[in-house]
Amino acid sequence: MDVVPVFEEKWTYKPFSAHIDDKGNIYARGAQDMKCVGIQYLEAIRRLQFQSVTLRRTIHVSFVPDEETGGVDGMKAFIKTNDFKNLNIGFALDEGMASPNNEYPVFYAERVIWQMHIHCPGHPGHGSLLLENTAGEKASYILNKLYEFRKEQQKKLKDNPNLTIGDVTTVNLTEVKGGVQANVIPPEFILTVDSRLAITVDFKKWEETLNTWCRDAGQGVYIEYEQKQSLIEPTKVDNSNPYWVAFKQATDELGLTLKPQVFTGGTDSRYIRAIGIPAFGFSPINNTSILAHENDEFLNTATFLKGILYYEKIIETIGNLTGYVKKNEKRLKM
């Protein structure tokens, strides 16, 4: 549903045992990302039903596969179906991220994913020679450019404490392919690069920059894109968005300190926003080390239970939102 593999030998407790230590910390894969929120949704709705709370809007809860691998067979496919369209959705809540301080991040947009395979072909031959035009030289040029840019983004983030990782562009080398044995210069190296573009980036200029690097690296270097997303309109976090007003009203009454920001990675919210439906990413987890995808991922029991109360309030407030009907909406739905 949204859970990644584990390296069990690196965990203090078995990662699928949900062990609770004497501090009340629940150790489990998915404790922060993302079994917690799914369970909190269901329990919050169960409690509202138990209290005989009725809402003006219909609440739907979706559990879909493949979020961690791009959501292609999950939410991306689901939104194209009549089943989804017949739900008549007006607004969506999705996952957020833990916060190491007292603030609660609320994600109104996501960076744009460009995943690239940069092909660096060259002159193959014996490893004892000094051949011209080798694949390694071209790969080296590309990597130098990528890491120079990466340092610029690190400096930008470090120099401005108001920025978060979602406000800058990241580039990371994730795979290198090529070569067959130690004494053979290969005919090609392929560099796989994961790039997450800030929503303020001029995409056309960024692509021109990448193409210039390839051209300057040497003959035949080119990019094969695995993912090349376009900018998706962010969800507004101001008074023009009644869902934001309702969400903020609920969290203000709960005494929560919110920090609206751009999400660092990619979630299923991108597919929701892409069809014009506003969406927020929110996980009620603060004062907690960010351990998504890491060893010994945990969530404190008190934080988990408190989050259910938060969702009760948020769901009830947004579920009773009145006076707003989206274009072509035949009935009020959340």
Going 28 to 33 to 38 to 40, the CA torsion angle's sign is: positive
Place of tokens 């005919």: 187
Q: Which of 67, 95, 110, 167 is catalytic?
A: 67
Catalytic residue selected from 2, 33, 95, 316? 2
* Angle formed at CA 246 by CA 243 and CA 249, multiple of 5 degrees: 150
The string of DSSP letters for 86-152 reads TT----EEE-----SSS-EEEEEEEPEEEEEEEEEE---EETTS--SS-HHHHHHHHHHHHHHHHHH
Give the residue among 235, 244, 325 at the shortest CA–CA distance from 278.
235
Tokens linked to 62: 């979706």
Evaluate the omega torsion of the peptide bond into residue 75 and state whether it is cis, within 30 degrees of 0: no
67 classed as catalytic:
yes
Q: Are 331 and 63 in contact (CB under 8 A)?
A: no
Token pair recorded at residue 156: 């930008």
Residues 6+ apart with CB under 8 A from 327: none
Q: Which residues are catalytic?
A: 2, 67
